[in-house]
Amino acid sequence: MTNNVKFTVTRHEVGHNFGHWHHLSMNGYRNLLDCPSCQKHDGFDMMSGGNKYQNSHFALASKWFYQWVPDSSIVMMQPEGSTKECPSCVNHGSYLLKPFDQYNLPPNHEFIMGIKIPLLGQNNDETKSMFSYWLSYRSGVDGYASIGLSVHLVWFDLGGLFGSYYDSLSYDIHGDTESLFDSFVLPGTCYVIEPNLKLLDMGFHSVKDILPKVCVDSLIYGEEIQVSVSFLNETHIEREWIDLDIVKDEITCAADNTTQVNTTLTLESPYLIKMSGAGDRSTVSAILCTNNDFNVTGYLYDR
């Protein structure tokens, strides 16, 4: 530290000494290739924009790794339920989560602070990495994160001075806005956690079989959140999010050239176009033209 020595900076820099990076949001990760300067960080984690708030903490997964939060305060979940590798794992359930960022609510064996969903490990010549999804509730950061459930992809690169390097991506739950203040699963809503670009960029396509469905049943602002978690498969995804009865057009893209389709839409109801064969590095663009003076909104869903 060479300048601006104050409490918020000091605690942030201490975090770097414990192996934390500046953690991105998914909104920021998507922009990395096209606009590195546009990257957006978590916004609420002390290492990633949260140190500007009075009450900010390291991430729950990090606290658990360093044994500041006991195993008994974390629920382990996986589609298979209990296995030899994870005897305490369950495959569904409803849980009351307490916030992990209150100084007057230290972790103990009487309540749950988060849910961990193991994904996979990776070995190479330099690192041994562990990936997982984490669900948690944050009451700090001036209350901005208290409105709903936080969802993260977390990974540890094991080894080094403090045992590991920690990094994460926060899921931008309402990804149709540029704001990070709506990055939460809200009360009365559900969210399906699908593999994000980080996992797919690394070629971990096996994680497509792990599809947690997370519902926020209730919330007492700043005090607790009730969540229900189960696991879906690809068939469930089709039934849950894509009503096949309203698919109006199906487009199969060519692998080696450009596919262009012109279609006339009747917009008395939502109009769904299903695309396949685009691969993982294609460019999709759409132009919507109307012959009347009314607005049309289009959405691109990447699964």
Q: Supply the pLDDT for residue 282.
A: 73
Domain end, chosen from 221, 238, 255, is at 238
The proportion of the chain whose per-residue pLDDT surpasses 90, expressed as a percent, equals 38
DSSP track, the chain: --S--SHHHHHHHHHHHTTB--PEEHHHHHHTTT-GGG--B-SSSTTTTGGGSSS----HHHHHHTTSS-GGGEEEB-TT-S-SS-TT-BS-EEEEEPPS--TTS---TTSB-EEEEEEEEEE-SS-EEEEEEEEE----GGGGGGGSBEEEEEEEEE-STTSEEEEEEE--SSTTSS-STT-SBPTT-EEE----HHHHHTT-GGGGG-EEEEEEEEEETTTEEEEEEEEE-HHHHHHHH--GGGEEEEEE--SSS---------TTS--EEEEE---SS---------SSS----------
pLDDT in tens, 213-258: 999 999 999 999 999 999 987 666 555 445 545 677 788 887 677 7
The listed range with the strongest mean pLDDT (7-11, 165-169, 175-179) is 165-169
89 & 209 share domain:
yes
272 & 230 share domain:
no
The listed range with the strongest mean pLDDT (66-75, 152-161, 205-214) is 66-75
Domain housing 135: 7-238
168 & 97 share domain:
yes
Number of domains observed in the structure of the chain: 2
Q: Supply the pLDDT for residue 91.
A: 95
185 & 44 share domain:
yes
Asked if residue 2 belongs to a domain, the reply is: no
76 & 91 share domain:
yes
169 & 63 share domain:
yes
263 & 233 share domain:
no
